[in-house]
């Protein structure tokens, strides 16, 4: 059977499972809709948390970034992994004990202020919409290549699937769907990695295969890749081009940004108590580590295979996978010297507009003739390595599982921010349970439509906006949550001032140094402290901490009952039944 038929079969079976679970576990109350009734087992919650955490960015993009950036791409690996550890150990148990299952709810109650809640709702919506648009685009890319439909059609199919189980099942349906999605995505990620590791090095463990010698050759795989890279004018794969300060800033910004992401924090309220929250956090880390430790190996395998397959080879003799990816526009070739061979060297093959290569405008300043999008590396990897068709289809199903699981979690955050934090807590406190459930479902449906629109019409600066989401979460949420848990004297004036300063500083830096909205886009030499926009969330976060602490010192202390609550959530004696979900 060909890849298309295998894809229809495997994707069809997985989608049928997701929809069946959503119908079986549909939510009947707001508690079930928001936190799955608070009765999920640590094992199931650990798997669901891992699926929630590992988005299309982790499954599709991370290995692709490492594949092309080499050592420099490791900041994403360190930042995202470290962010989860930070969240699991430093924030989750305390937030669970505080009993507030959304970040705006925690900030609104801890800082006894509607203004603080409003700022937090604004940040939660920006971060969540940015992420969910990226997931929908990922769904569209997978569908366009493997089911041979338009990217826009793929996005619409993804919207319908997510809408069905997110709106019907709420967190209860999403949790058990995510357990199934974790199983699919991890199996789909590991099978080709093991196949290719055996094929290239004879070692079945990808993590060890990456550091082994190439089968039949007396050379280490990484040394071989370094040699291939330098021959083509690229930097050595194992060398970095970023300064130590910038690497530190980006890693920390990703860590504290991801630790403040609302769609993962809510997962710690779906278990019965604080003890189970800690257990599920530990299990999730193990489940996440399986994929995260394999991604660098896949990056090395894919990059080596790609260079050996395409560099200086006849275009007419390229395998079918090359032509298939050309149709999507994510791989483009222009024979500038008309010799029929693919010149793949350092440089932009096409003129860039808003960061995107223009297919009809070859770049006259570079001899490079090939453009390859980072995001195709994991998806094309089994095809490049000539693995069986069912493995290629399995990877497509895994990528869809990763994108849909995170999209569903984010949609729930958006619906909770609107129905619970905005409508119930600020606009209409007397709304009935049924009314709140309906408002949650309607806001989730509207959010799906908006996310689908951005998936179909992505702004030219999608990558920049994703970086902005991390930076914004780092600059706004993280200090407010940390100080809210560990600093009794922190008051509403300090928290609000810190969040606004951090957020505005981050927005200004991104607008000026990443998007070019304020004058011409400056050169890298003009970056503050030599820190890239992706890492500036660290600077904005420090500014937030300083402003919050200084302002709180010169303004009245919070009420005694708030101070007592802060004192109480740090005492581990309540590791049995902790605060209610509402």
Rounded to two decimals, what is the model's pTM? 0.80
Please give the pLDDT value at position 448: 83
Q: What is the pLDDT of residue 377?
A: 83
Ramachandran region, residue 370 (left: φ > 0; alpha: ψ -120 to 50; beta: rest):
beta
Of 540, 547, 463, nearest in space to 508 by CA? 540
- What is the reported pLDDT for 37? 53
pLDDT at 212 over 90: no
Give the least confident one: 213-227, 234-248, 466-480.
234-248
Q: Which range has highest mean pLDDT (7-11, 270-274, 401-405, 452-456)?
A: 7-11
Give whichever of 39-53, 285-299, 567-581 has the largest mean pLDDT: 285-299
Mark out the alpha helices in 71-209 (DSSP H runs): 74-86, 92-98, 103-110, 114-146, 151-201, 206-209
Bridge partners of 372, per DSSP, are 331
3-state secondary structure 41-94: CHHHHHHHHHHHHCCHHHHHHHHHHHHHHHHHHHHHHHHHHHHHHHHHHHHHHH
Q: Name the range with the highest mean pLDDT among 22-26, 93-97, 229-233.
A: 93-97
Q: Is the pLDDT of residue 375 over 90?
A: no
Question: In the predicted model, what is the mean pLDDT of the chain?
Answer: 80
Q: What is the mean pLDDT of residues 94-106?
A: 76
Cα 377 to chain centroid distance, Å, stands at 17
525-575 pLDDT, tens digit each: 888 888 888 889 999 999 999 999 999 999 998 888 888 888 887 775 444
Q: Averaged over 217-237, what is the pLDDT?
A: 75
Section 82-104 average pLDDT: 77
pLDDT reading at 461 higher than 50: no
**529-552: burial string, b at 16+ Cβ within 10 Å, e else:** eebbbbbbbbbbbbbbbebbbebb
pLDDT at 489 over 50: yes
pLDDT, mean of residues 360-367: 82
Highest mean pLDDT among 86-90, 457-461, 526-530: 526-530
Please, which pLDDT band fits residue 494 given cuts at 50, 70 and 90? very high
Looking at residue 580, its pLDDT comes to 43
Give pLDDT, residue 574: 46
Which domains are assigned to the chain? 3-305+382-457 (1.20.1730.10), 310-374 (no CATH), 464-571 (no CATH)
pLDDT of residue 553: 92
pLDDT one-digit tens code per residue, 123-159: 888 777 777 777 777 777 777 777 777 777 888 887 8
In angstroms, the CA 177 to CA 566 distance is: 35
Residue 579: is its pLDDT beyond 60?
no
pLDDT of the residue at 541: 94
Average pLDDT over residues 160-171: 70
Q: CA-CA distance, 203 to 200, in Å (whole number)?
A: 8
């Amino acid at each position: 059977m060909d890849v298309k038929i295998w894809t229809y079969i495997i994707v069809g079976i997985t989608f049928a499972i997701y929809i069946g679970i959503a119908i079986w576990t549909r939510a009947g109350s707001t508690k079930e809709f928001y936190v799955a009734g608070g009765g999920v087992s640590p094992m199931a919650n650990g798997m669901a948390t891992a699926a929630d955490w590992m988005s299309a960015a982790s499954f599709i993009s991370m290995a692709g970034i490492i594949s092309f950036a080499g050592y420099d791409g490791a900041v994403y690996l360190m930042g995202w992994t470290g962010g989860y550890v930070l969240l699991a150990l430093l924030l989750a148990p305390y937030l669970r004990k505080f009993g507030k299952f959304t970040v705006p709810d925690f900030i609104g109650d801890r800082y006894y202020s509607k203004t603080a809640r409003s700022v937090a709702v604004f940040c939660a919506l920006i971060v969540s919409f940015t992420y969910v648009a990226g997931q929908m685009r990922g769904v569209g890319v997978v569908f366009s290549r493997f089911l041979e439909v338009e990217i826009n059609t793929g996005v619409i199919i993804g919207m319908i699937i997510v809408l069905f189980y997110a709106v019907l099942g709420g967190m209860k349906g999403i949790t058990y769907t995510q357990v199934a999605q974790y199983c699919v995505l991890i199996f789909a990620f590991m099978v080709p990695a093991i196949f290719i590791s055996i094929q290239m090095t004879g070692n079945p463990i990808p993590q060890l295969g990456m550091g082994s010698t190439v089968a039949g050759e007396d050379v280490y795989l990484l040394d071989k890749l370094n040699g291939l890279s330098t021959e083509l004018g690229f930097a050595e794969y194992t060398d970095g081009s970023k300064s130590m300060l910038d690497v530190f800033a980006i890693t920390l910004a990703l860590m504290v940004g991801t630790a403040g992401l609302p769609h993962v924090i809510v997962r710690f309220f779906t278990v019965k108590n604080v003890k189970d929250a800690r257990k599920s956090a530990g299990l999730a880390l193990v489940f996440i580590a399986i994929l995260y430790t394999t991604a660098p190996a896949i990056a090395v395998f894919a990059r080596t295979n790609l260079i050996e397959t395409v560099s200086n080879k006849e275009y007419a003799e390229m395998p079918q996978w090359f032509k298939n990816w050309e149709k999507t526009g994510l791989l483009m070739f222009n024979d500038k010297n008309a010799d029929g061979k693919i010149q793949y060297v350092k440089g932009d093959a096409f003129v860039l507009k808003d960061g995107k290569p223009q297919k009809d405008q070859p770049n006259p300043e570079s001899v490079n003739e090939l453009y390859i999008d980072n995001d195709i590396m994991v998806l094309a990897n089994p095809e490049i390595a000539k693995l069986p068709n069912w493995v290629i289809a399995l990877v497509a199903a895994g990528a869809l599982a990763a994108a849909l699981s995170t999209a569903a979690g984010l949609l729930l955050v958006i619906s909770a921010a609107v129905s619970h934090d905005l409508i119930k807590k600020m606009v209409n406190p007397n709304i009935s349970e049924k009314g709140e459930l309906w408002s949650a479902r309607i806001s989730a449906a509207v959010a799906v439509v908006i996310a689908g629109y951005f998936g179909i019409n992505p702004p030219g600066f999608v990558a920049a906006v994703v970086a902005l989401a991390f930076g914004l979460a780092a600059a706004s949420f993280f200090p407010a949550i940390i100080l809210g848990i560990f600093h009794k004297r922190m008051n509403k004036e300090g928290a609000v001032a810190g969040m606004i300063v951090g957020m505005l500083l981050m927005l200004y830096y991104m607008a000026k140094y990443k998007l070019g909205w304020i004058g011409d886009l400056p050169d890298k030499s003009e970056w503050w402290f030599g820190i890239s926009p992706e890492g500036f969330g660290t600077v904005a976060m420090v500014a937030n901490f300083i402003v919050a602490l200084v302002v709180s010192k010169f303004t009245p202390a919070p009420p005694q009952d708030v101070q007592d609550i802060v004192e109480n959530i740090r005492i581990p004696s309540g590791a049995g039944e902790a605060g209610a979900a509402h």
